[in-house]
Amino acid sequence: MMVGNPAMLALDWIAPLAGAVIAASTIPPLLALYFLRLRRSRRVVAATMHWRRAAEDVRANAPFQRLRLSLLLLLQLIALGLVALGIAQPQVDLGLGGAEKIAILIDRSGSMGALDGEADGTRLAQAKEQAVERVRALHGGGLFAGPAPSIMVIAFASEATVLCPFTDSAVQAITAIESIEATDESTAIGGGIELARSFAARGGEDGTANLSVPAVLEVYSDGRIADLEGLSLRDGERVVFHRIGGQDSPNVGVGAIAVTRMPESPGEVRVFARVVSWSKSPRQTDLELRVDGRLLAVTPAPMELAAASPDAATGALLPAQTQAVFPGVQVPAGAVVEVRVTAEDRLPADNAARVVAPRLGGLKIALVGRGSFVLRSVIEGMSPASFESFTLDAWNARLAKDPSAPDAFDVVVLEQVAPQSMARGRYLMFGAAPTGTSIVPFGTKQQVLPRSIRSEHPLLQYVNLDDLFVASMTAVAPGSDSDVVVEASEGPMILTLSRGPLTLVYVSFDPLDSDWPFQRSFVNFTANALAWLAAGGLPAAEEPLSPGAVASGRLPAGAQAPSARSSTGMTPPLSLLEGGRFTLGPLRRAGTATLEWQIGSKSATPTSLAFAVNMDCQTEGRLDAADQLQLATNSIAAQPSRAASQSMWPWLLLAAVGVLLLEWWVWLRRT
């Protein structure tokens, strides 16, 4: 179904020259047979008075006489014409007649990896095959065919990418289609439509604008697109929706996973998992727990999952969900923890979800200040690789001798002191205001309670500050390069600052002037802050990523020969930045990506950092293909499984056979 101004049906010819050759080589000889008389032997007879029919036969077979009306000749001409037309291979273009530009948009999101395509292939493979057939049909004209439209190829998932701008080359368009790689990302088509509009308005290669001829948009997708309700078509735009995928494709996947350390046993963790079912009937599945690929546990009994059901208010289909917990699991720091369902379905990518176990040890930490028992015991309980204490004078003397001294530590913890220089380094600072930064102190405040808490920030993971009371706090005014995480009515309580080689987490009060040391949240916050700072103020490795995200962090001092690999077999892009920072990705497939490096020129054992990438089962796990694309103001029904054109040659050849049978029957009646 199209939306926009109507267009006439167009007739395309795949091989018009072949049909013309067949017609030219068969129809004239047939007519010649009727023009030319048969040669008979001469006989002498007494008279032809009673042989009228014989005389007429002699005149009809005289060469180059006018043809008499003959039903047999007419039927034979019709049969030959139908055969010639069939060999020319005409096909009806369903609604795209007169299109000058066609933008082919191919969905490569996670749900297009479902194995219910043709020949048990993926939906993406089927979409690419149909798109290639469509391009060949549009460019299949011969000597008498009209001009082929310009074709543009766009692949879309969470973002859209132009693989081929508008071109008249079928080879270029087909090469672009065949180069599309699968992803496990979510689905959004808005960016792809805007790209098609932009390139269509730009005109041809000369770049001149041409707004009067919008491109026809041909969408190859299963129709499960998140941003459709916010889209609408412009005047004159036409859309064809090629539905890919089946209507009955149940799916079970892991929707979320989390790992937390047990406070009473730091060497053990709890693993939480949420299982999601999009099946319209109840399902059962076992749940496996694996650590670095090794099977550790299985649920004692299959998990029962109810059927997916429509929402009572909106009518939208909602998946069934259930949760599972694996308590008391021994997991090494930095190990990849994986939870996997064993139920068989058509989408393998969401059958498992992974997370990297928290890295609480292995850091080089310096403590500058009074070194209170509370803060020291928390840091030592995290088993750092090295831990050194300094007085303020000793630290200032070290800075005076070597300004790069902070770089020798992953994190420098400052307790109620402010060094004379904070130009570089990664600091966790309590109490005293920092020097030489945009954070300006303006006094103290008494009896402070938090009012605004950004609980989604990595510093506050598993941190509850609802019961926090601060007796005395340093009042500060944050600068433009600061990010306030926790704020009271009297001013910021916890904020971050990032400026070049300096990364700072500043707590504007002394923990001993509050009841925070008596709460578990103080230990969790300190661990989060150390990990966040050690990663250079970027997302820590423990955070699972969504497909399409870019992993980032900081390499340790002395790291050499960094390289990246992925569990999917693809090598993700790696970029090294200033200060030992790096970016890895985008990571488009679910699985794990690992960054490896060497420490020291003689070391043969690489150190590694893993990143988990999980498909969003809530959005991409629904596999029943949509019947239509429901835009804000338009409804676009799905086309049949094949391209928007119908071949006519089988019907023409069948009609030719029927005409020949009729001609044979007429001949039999006359003999």
Q: Please report the pLDDT score of residue 649 as a whole number.
A: 75
Higher model confidence: residue 532 or residue 302? 302
Q: What is the mean pLDDT of the chain?
A: 83
Inter-residue contact 226 to 190 (CB < 8 Å):
no
Q: Tokens for 553? A: 């962090």
Degrees to nearest 5, angle at CA 331 with 456 and 541: 40
For the cut 90, the answer to whether the pLDDT of residue 100 exceeds it is no
Cα separation, 493 vs 507, in Å, equals 6
Ranges assigned E (strand) in 489-538:
491-499, 502-507
pLDDT at 7: 42
Nearest-angstrom CA–CA distance, 287 and 332: 21
CB 598 within 8 A of CB 558: no
Average pLDDT for 456-481: 89
The per-residue pLDDT for 55 is: 58
Contact criterion met (CB below 8 Å) for 242 and 126: no
CA distance 232 to 220: 18
What integer is the mean pLDDT of 541-569? 84
Residue 542 has pLDDT above 60, yes or no: yes
pLDDT score recorded for residue 65: 54
pLDDT at 140: 67
Q: For the segment 605-645, what is each residue's pLDDT rounded down to a tens digit?
A: 557 888 999 999 888 999 999 999 999 888 898 876 554 55
- Confirm whether 97-248+631-643 and 268-359 share one CATH topology: no
What DSSP line would sit under 552-580, residue for residue? EEEPPTTEEEEEEEETTS----EEE-GGG
Q: Is the pLDDT of residue 229 over 70?
A: yes
Question: Quick one: pLDDT band at residue 56, thresholds 50, 70, 90?
Answer: low
Q: Residue 121: which pLDDT band, with cuts at 50, 70 and 90?
A: confident
> What distance in Å separates the CA atoms of residue 341 and residue 261, rounded to the nearest whole number?
23
What is the DSSP-derived secondary structure letter of residue 187? -
In tens, the pLDDT along 578-604 reads 777 899 999 999 999 999 888 765 554
Query: Which is it for strands 635-639 and 238-243: parallel, antiparallel or unpaired?
Result: parallel
Domain 97-248+631-643, CATH: 3.40.50.410
DSSP letter, residue 514 = B
Domain ranges of the chain: 10-92+650-670, 97-248+631-643, 268-359, 364-534, 549-610
Task: Dig out the tokens for 444 from the structure.
Answer: 């103290």
**Residue 4's pLDDT is what?**
41
Residue 336 sits at the vertex; the CA angle it makes with 333 and 338, to the nearest 5 degrees, is: 135
Provide the pLDDT for residue 643.
46
- Distance in angstroms (rounded) separating the CA atoms of residues 502 and 510: 22
Q: Work out the average pLDDT over 404-427.
A: 89
Name the nearest CA neighbour of 173 among 240, 105, 257, 262. Answer: 105
User: What is residue 393's predicted lDDT score, i.e. its pLDDT?
Assistant: 92
Gap between the Cα atoms of 15 and 145, Å rounded: 9
Confidence at 209, pLDDT banded by 50, 70, 90: very low
pLDDT tens by residue, 140-175: 654 444 567 899 999 999 999 999 999 999 999 999
240-264 pLDDT, tens per residue?
999 998 888 889 999 999 887 665 5
Q: Which CATH architecture has domain 268-359?
A: Sandwich (2.60)
Cα–Cα distances in angstroms (integers) from residue 28 to residues 31, 73, 104, 273, in the given order: 5, 12, 44, 78
Q: Where are the beta strands (DSSP E) in 307-362?
A: 309-310, 317-318, 320-330, 336-341, 352-356
Specify the CATH superfamily of domain 364-534. Class I glutamine amidotransferase (GATase) domain (3.40.50.880)
